[in-house]
Structure 1
């Protein structure tokens, strides 16, 4: 028995050592050998458990499955954004950053073993079905979510277009779970939208930061300039940059969008982590935003982008890359940030491919605004707080600080627990709850009912009057 355990211990030790080497952590090991030394006693315990499962579990379990689950659990217990990506999940991640994938259109996380809706993506089955941030998905068809990893749950929600899936939802304020049947679609997320508003004002919305987002922003700014000219205007007099419900995406996209409005070589964001590679400064320079493009797409940027007054709209669904843009424009006093406190995801995830076509997504650093403010678990505080409705109410949203095992904003400070949320009495809805639900119905951005956009337009008009 002990010899078997010894053999398993050697295999496990070799496996972990191999993983460390394959992830290029050897440089770190040479700098900090004490921190990188393999914990022999803990590995022996791991080997004991591994052997007990192999010898005594009620059914045979493949070695590959056990090791994969061990790696997955190791990463999942670090923070909400580190994860093991099997070959399919890794491929899905690569496809989704290109703006096209098959599924329901939900940004999700994990809480208490259930899938938690962070934000439904606009113009997708989930958005049209009325799924809300904070909803808990407890069943996928007849399969309970409890016990599944986030990757397994996401894999079940994705599938071929025109196929259906039934979600069982628990929502705060609802007396009991309810079901929603969604039809999967080929999700094509148009990351940039724009339109000309009254009075020569432009509206630019970024829904997600993808590979094409920065060049698309330049194209839409050109489109606004042309629309104003066709309307016989005398130039764009102000711009609303709408980042509400934007869950983030690629860093170079955020740097590129910021660069469209800032002077060349201006600091956009910095990162800080344990390794030298994690300590970076990103500026409004082609080498930091021009990924895969031979020519600098900024050469087509209309002149008004650098000078016209800007109002950036944000809310609790604005996360990660969108917070980088809002923070950069705010710190450099290039724009006024309006809306409500942002999500607070200021951590950097590095995707490290493995030899078996899988990968790990590992949190390696924190983001900071140009002035050195941490975004993590804090978010961006608007210059002007404007709630979603005229009566001063906003939809309750999940934020980074609400997630289990979230990182603190500063590496030297402990994580502060999220404040307890008020519970609905008896789970019954009264008149007040129904009124709240009506007030918190999904708002169509850029519509006549968009109160925050109306306030942004009023501010830009006021600036025009002051300027005159």
Structure 2
């Protein structure tokens, strides 16, 4: 054996010894012992890695190999455990914080270019005049024809006060438009709101990032000021909200409860279970609440809906939610990468687990916009994902192939199309993000108005 190969093998074994040491320490801390099989399989892993390094047809990227192996290991667990390389880990932290340096445009992947879904109000893109439907064909001098969304996002984000040039094709314009934009701090507004007729409030939470509870407080303060302190009911819209931070779900639930448990978790490690309780102070002061949910309401959204439903604080309306009742912990690693690991299942105050089941509305109201579409696909839910946990907390061993419907992961990657035709974009409500003829919202508002009439009648009698 050549000295080069001996050196390579020696390096690999040093890596394995280090891994075994770290894994052993972690296992000891958790009161768990590593078995003989684990050591043997790690030896096999180093043998395969050595074969690839020395005998593969061309030189392989060792970091890519190791990251791929880690990712493959986590993919065997459940649909929500995953490995985050340093770039993905950084993007994840940006998304949950809700603030970054960029241009302020929501984008998706078009057939030949990066397509603008919409510019965010009062951002560099909005002020420069970019519009929904614009096709970004170049970022600086690089074509976007074969550029994926993550690469496009990386290129457009950057330090505030730095410039970037975008070349855009717009319908009706005879030649491409060139925009030179100056990056700025972009705050992702996860909450939108407005006052409705009959002294009612409408608040939509699109995700549970770090801004969710602070913006909820701001929304209710502004609506109360507009209605001169006479807010008589609230529609809390959690439709298509994929979830987010557990602590924000707890704080949003706490905003409408005076006491009692909000959610609790159960995991594998003794002493690691968590429980969260409400503190006194209902921002709506007992006024009726309707929570709108649908098949796109997942995780943190279901924590809020489940807590308010169990405490009979709100009427849940819409369609059955997604059914993601597992808790993921983000664990940073030494090289800037991270692990998203399922560490527990959560339970509503009454002890229900919504894993692979979802929140069943008190009043089922279908989305007529979706029903009218002949080409509608059945929405994928937690129970349809390969390797999901069943409602009893045991993992499903079903190896069926993934469906072609939208899943949480593909939605995050931007690989899905809108559920409504592009021609309908102009008919969308800027606050609800849905059709202006929103049947579910109308029914929610009707219910609150009906309760107003009942309360008025009861008070007179």
CA contact (8 A) 1:408 1:415 kept: no
Q: How many residues align?
A: 391
1:452 pairs with 2:440: yes
Look up the match of 2:146.
142
Please state how far the C-alpha of 1:21 moved relative to its aligned partner: 6.0
Matched ranges for 1:381-420 at <5 A = 381-389=360-368, 396=377, 397-412=379-394, 414-415=396-397
In structure 1, runs of 5+ residues without a counterpart are: 109-119, 131-139, 146-152, 167-182, 286-297, 424-435
TM-score, normalised to structure 1's length? 0.71
Cα distance change on mapping 1:105 and 1:14 into 2, 3 Å: farther
Q: Which has the higher contact order (CA 8 A, sep 6+)?
A: 1
1:370 pairs with 2:349: yes
Partner Cα separation in structure 1 for residue 132 and residue 302 of structure 2: 26
Please state how far the C-alpha of 1:323 moved relative to its aligned partner: 1.1
Partner Cα separation in structure 1 for residue 423 and residue 389 of structure 2: 29
1:13 pairs with 2:16: yes
Partner Cα separation in structure 2 for residue 262 and residue 364 of structure 1: 27
Cα distance change on mapping 1:358 and 1:448 into 2, 3 Å: closer
Partner Cα separation in structure 2 for residue 390 and residue 69 of structure 1: 41
Cα distance change on mapping 1:345 and 1:452 into 2, 3 Å: same
Please state how far the C-alpha of 1:190 moved relative to its aligned partner: 0.7
Please state how far the C-alpha of 1:34 moved relative to its aligned partner: 5.3
Please state how far the C-alpha of 1:38 moved relative to its aligned partner: 5.9
Cα distance change on mapping 1:106 and 1:278 into 2, 3 Å: farther
Partner Cα separation in structure 2 for residue 358 and residue 198 of structure 1: 49
Deviations along 1:375-421, one digit per CA (max 9) or x if unpaired, are: 22222111111111279558643322333333333323635677997
1:60 pairs with 2:59: yes
1:281 pairs with 2:260: no
Matched ranges for 1:38-53 at <5 A = 39-53=38-52
Please state how far the C-alpha of 1:51 moved relative to its aligned partner: 1.3
Look up the match of 1:337.
316
1:271 pairs with 2:270: no
Look up the match of 2:201.
202
Partner Cα separation in structure 1 for residue 205 and residue 290 of structure 2: 14
CA contact (8 A) 2:305 2:359 kept: yes
Partner Cα separation in structure 1 for residue 150 and residue 76 of structure 2: 18
CA contact (8 A) 2:118 2:133 kept: no
Cα distance change on mapping 1:104 and 1:274 into 2, 3 Å: farther
1:243 pairs with 2:238: yes
CA contact (8 A) 1:262 1:306 kept: no
Q: Could you tell which deviates more after superposition, 214-223 or 401-410?
A: 401-410
In structure 2, runs of 5+ residues without a counterpart are: 110-116, 126-130, 135-143, 158-163, 169-179, 406-418
CA contact (8 A) 1:263 1:306 kept: no
Across the aligned residues of Structure 1 and Structure 2, the Cα RMSD in angstroms comes to 4.0
TM-score, normalised to structure 2's length? 0.72
Look up the match of 2:32.
32
Cα distance change on mapping 1:376 and 1:16 into 2, 3 Å: farther
CA contact (8 A) 1:270 1:369 kept: yes
Partner Cα separation in structure 2 for residue 343 and residue 82 of structure 1: 17
Look up the match of 2:69.
70
Cα distance change on mapping 1:84 and 1:437 into 2, 3 Å: closer
Partner Cα separation in structure 2 for residue 335 and residue 418 of structure 1: 37
